[in-house]
Structure 1
Amino acid sequence: MDMYTLASSDQLKHIISTVKSEPFPDQLTVTNITLVGLEKRADDFKREHYTENYIQACFNVLKINKFFVVGGSGNEYCLNLILKIVRVGAANGIEKIYTGNRGIISRPAMSYSTVKYGCWGFLIHYIDSLVACHRSSSEERVSIDLITPEGGPIDPDTLDEIFVETQNIEEYKTINSIDRLNLSRSSNMLFKVGASELVVSVIETISEYMKVIEGMFNFDRINSLLNGSCYSRPFRIIVDCNNGGIGPYAKRIFEEELGAGKGSVINYEPSNDVRNFNTSTSENFEMKCSTCDLGASLDSDGGRCMIYGRRGFLIPSGETLSVITSHYHAIPYFLKHKFNGVSRSFFTPACVDDVTRNGSLNIVESPGSWRYFNELMGSKKVLLCEGHNFEVGSHHVGLRDGIWTILAWLSLVIHFHKPVKDIMLTHWSIYGRNYVTTYEFHDLPISKIVKVFSEMINIVFKIENLGTSSRLTCGENFKVVFADKFSYNYASKREAQSYPALKVLVEPKGRIIFRPLLEEDQGVIQIIVEVLRSDPNLPNETAVTENLFQLAMQIGKIAAGTGKNKPDFVF
């Protein structure tokens, strides 16, 4: 990569074009605490000027003037967006743009790269149903996420500035004569732009990520586990990459580096069919897990990971954080770095709370965005975090990391000499099991959602109306022991922040969360119900949480406020 490779068209002196444009009103997105970029329908980014307007707004606000990283799933759609972003970047005076081989960069690798090169990153990825389960439509959605030079998601205030800027756009700069990029191998491509030069550098992101991850785990012991050299037989794994950009990373690490058998990593080639990027409905995956010791299903950018034991036994959301916290000494990285605390999102099951209750570890309940986790880890308040929807990550990149999660579970298997399911059952025998069900009311006008939450905050949640009261629901008596809005006191820019989500704690031990999910003109009311039981083998999770859900319906006056007596979606 010391020599520049020049395509024939690159020997031209490219001319900057200023294109007149108008704002797209729908780019003034309704923001919430999880938003880290512009998320829209895939067809929206194909509209004339649409992507360029947004990228120009980013340059106007962020003042990016030298370098940035861009990449994503590596399919044809992603490559087209990379080309548009490169054109706008070149026209705005960028000197160097980094991307991965074939345009592929996973979320953890993007985080590492922005830190290494000290620049912003544009991560292009599809939204799968594991993330967007609250959407009733099956439309293809894409997000261009903004990753900071510190490796975390963009600050919500800065993102709001960008969205406001999109409504003031009158023109953008681009270079239409850059008509193709050769990203098939590591190289540097030189483009002459006026009196300046732009270098597009294709970097080995997989090798660089490997260097980070192999220092955190004992690869020799994991290799022995997977190839069976120190055990009675090989430990069989199946890693489903769902045809996303994480595929080449998983293939290299598990099959080539760690000796898992050929065919252990499946669906590893990026696909142009977005229907393949669906971790939560991967057909027959649980059946495939019946033939292996550990199964893992990764989302398209490699941030989220669902872990399965034998016969399709799924590790519930929140439990990975709980088990690792209880046995962090099983992971070499945590022996080298002080394991001082953990954090979970407001909406992640509270399994880890009991693990930390009587010990010296910090536990921080934080908003759903990894910006807050990144900030907590950067300030060394915590070392490990889990967001909702199977998002686990540690200090090594400051973002969720699915491959890290798989390696952590393999390390636990080595430490306990037990199968995945047995590790989980042993943990539940000590702490009990949190049964969680999410109920969603879809396609509600924003005005209805605002009214429901306003009445809950101003009337229902008054201490004299709710506090420490007992409620009889479906024959089960619940005592309300706490009710309040979520708040977060660790943000660097504000003394304290409040969020519209509400929580109710009850005895016998349970938790209700009321959460609004708002989009352009309508939204969803999400009710998360969590119940702790000593028996980990209750067959019907929804039956366990049903009585507490009925209490939630009473407290929130959901039927009256929404006109719906039952949820549209339960999972």
Structure 2
Amino acid sequence: MKHIFDFGAIKSLLSRPDFSFCYDALHGVAGIYAQKIFVDELSADPSFLLNCVPKEDFGGGHPDPNLTYAKELVHRMGLGKTDPIEEIPEFGAAADGDADRNMVLGKRFFVTPSDSVAIIAANAVGAIPYFEGGLKGVARSMPTSAALDVVAKALNLKFFEVPTGWKFFGNLMDAGMCSVCGEESFGTGSDHIREKDGIWAVLAWLSILAHRNSQAPSGGKLVTVEDIVRVHWATYGRHFYTRYDYENVDAGAAKELMAYLVSLQSSLSDINRIIKDVNPDVPSVVKGDEFEYKDPVDGSVSKHQGIRFLFEDGSRLVFRLSGTGSEGATIRLYIEQYQSHTSKIGIESQVALAPLVEIALKLSKMEEFTGRSSPTVIT
């Protein structure tokens, strides 16, 4: 890690009296590395570490770094239902049990995984010594928002959209075609080890914070996580994004829903008629397909990787099916809207996405097929 990041710059950031952070290992293996890197090497206050003693049962919790399961960190960062008693840190992060996934938070501010990988890519060359020679390319999984696409286009970087599954990133990195990659399920990584790496992602964010604050006037206001994200949105636009998971759905019903969506894609006019009947202000769908990927490295073809509806304004609806065994299936619905107008990028995400959510549920006949009036989990 010392060969990848500027530990001196990060240490200077951590020494600022107006900067504090909280790292939650959720009692997974990341706690060992957090102690060594953040406390022993970077001289962070040990109180910045949360749940960093590994336990076989993860302390009775679920080691998944998201807003649902990292409850203690979410509360401490001011994103819970009640405000914490102690002062809210400027930066927060969590890891899963084996430390390969990550969640990044600012004070009362959640950074989506899709935005996180885009922001790392946009700032990598200036903030991270490992990338000072430039990026070979960037990649994201298909369901991940297109925030990274916009950065790649603006910076003239090679860009790859791959199916869900880290092996596709691995092929690109092995071939020297990709430097930074990520997925909406809280995985971020680079070609330093060709795997997703939760500690690496946190150090990347600390490096960006250190770099941005080194450029600010001496003694000036701290440049925060929220500041960095909002500047990114103002520069590249914002991709409002959410995921609805319908878990343990009857496998037969789930397959019928997906087959219905495929049949619906044969007629854009029928799709757009349904859309306009629900909300005439929603843009039209210009393309509907099943995502298919031909690996540029080994030539292998991956079919049926998700059903997509692409709108004329860059918005997307994506439906994926997983786990069709005896325990039932999971239907994942991804909803994304792109907004480039600076006056509208600050809207609350669920408000901005509400029209598309309604369209997605009506278009798919979700309740009719599944019997569910609401998803199991919203991310």
Same fold (TM over 0.5): yes
Q: Deviations over 1:6-52 (max 9, x none)?
A: xxxxxxxxxxxxxxxxxxxxxxxxxxxxxxxxxxxxxxxxxxxxxxx
Distance in 2 of aligned mates of 1:387 and 1:257: 29
**1:526 correspondence with 2:314:** no
Counterpart CA distance in 1 for 2:14 and 2:169 is 32
- Distance of 1:442 and 1:300 partners within structure 2: 22
Runs of at least 4 residues of structure 1 off by over 6 A? 467-470
User: What is the match of residue 201 of structure 2?
Assistant: 405
Q: Is the CA contact 2:268–2:286 (under 8 Å) kept in the aligned structure 1? A: no
Q: How do residues 40-79 of structure 1 correspond to structure 2 at under 5 angstroms?
A: none
Of 260, 266, 274 in structure 2, the residue corresponding to residue 462 of structure 1 is: 266
Q: Could you tell me how far apart the structure 1 residues matched to 2:109 and 2:357 are?
A: 25
> Which residue does the alignment assign to 1:389?
185
Residue aligned with 1:214, SS: coil
> 2:65: which partner in 1?
279
CA offset at residue 408 of structure 1? 0.8
Q: 2:251 — aligned with what?
A: 446
Give the structure 1 partner of residue 82 of structure 2. Answer: none
Structure 1 position 538 matched with structure 2 position 347: yes
Q: Provide Cα deviations, 1:200-258, integer angstroms capped at 9, x if missing partner.
A: xxxxxxxxxxxxx1100111121222124xxxx36322111111011111110000011
Separation (CA, whole Å) in 2 of partners of 1:273 and 1:327: 37
The one-letter code sitting in structure 1 at the alignment partner of 2:120 is I
Q: 2:282–2:355: 8 Å Cα contact kept in structure 1? A: no
Match runs of 1:56-135 below 5 Å: none
Instruction: Tell me, in whole angstroms, the C-alpha distance in 1 between the residues paired with 2:270 and 2:150.
Output: 25
Aligned to 1:328: 124
Structure 2 residue matching 1:447: 3-state secondary structure = helix
Aligned CA-pair RMSD: 2.1
How far apart are 1:447 and its partner, in Å?
Answer: 1.7
* Partner Cα separation in structure 1 for residue 293 and residue 314 of structure 2: 23
The counterpart of 2:39, out of the listed 239, 255, 266, is 255
Larger Rg: 1
**Structure with more strand by fraction:** 1
Task: Say if 2:48 is the partner of 1:227.
Answer: no
Indicate the SS of the match to 1:399: coil
Greater CA drift, 433-442 or 318-327: 433-442
Q: Tell me the number of residue pairs that the alignment of Structure 1 and Structure 2 aligns.
A: 351
> Percentage identity across aligned positions?
26
TM-superposed CA distance for 1:265, in Å, is 1.7
* Residue deviations 1:85-116 (CA, integer Å, cap 9, x gap): xxxxxxxxxxxxxxxxxxxxxxxxxxxxxxxx
1:164-183 superposed matches below 5 A? none
Per the TM alignment, residue 475 of structure 1 is displaced from its structure 2 partner at its CA by: 4.7
Q: CA deviation at 1:346?
A: 1.1
Structure 1 residue identity aligned to 2:345: P
Counterpart-to-counterpart distance in 1, 2:282 and 2:15: 53
CA shift, 1:536, in A, is: 3.0
How far 1:383 moved relative to its partner? 0.6
Summarize deviations over 1:51-105 as a string: whole Å, max 9, x none. Answer: xxxxxxxxxxxxxxxxxxxxxxxxxxxxxxxxxxxxxxxxxxxxxxxxxxxxxxx
Q: Partners in 1 of 2:76 and 2:275 — Cα distance?
A: 45
Where in structure 2 are the equivalents of 1:251-400 lying within 5 Å?
A: 251-274=35-58, 275-276=60-61, 277-280=63-66, 281-289=69-77, 291-310=88-107, 312-329=108-125, 330-336=127-133, 338-400=134-196
Question: Aligned AA for 1:334?
Answer: F
Deviations 1:183-210 (A, max 9, x none): xxxxxxxxxxxxxxxxxxxxxxxxxxxx
TM (normalized to structure 1)?
Answer: 0.58
**Which deviates more from structure 2 when the two are superposed, residues 291-300 or residues 253-262?**
291-300
* Preserved CA contact (<8 Å) 1:487 1:499: yes
Partners of 1:494 and 1:325 in 2: CA distance: 26
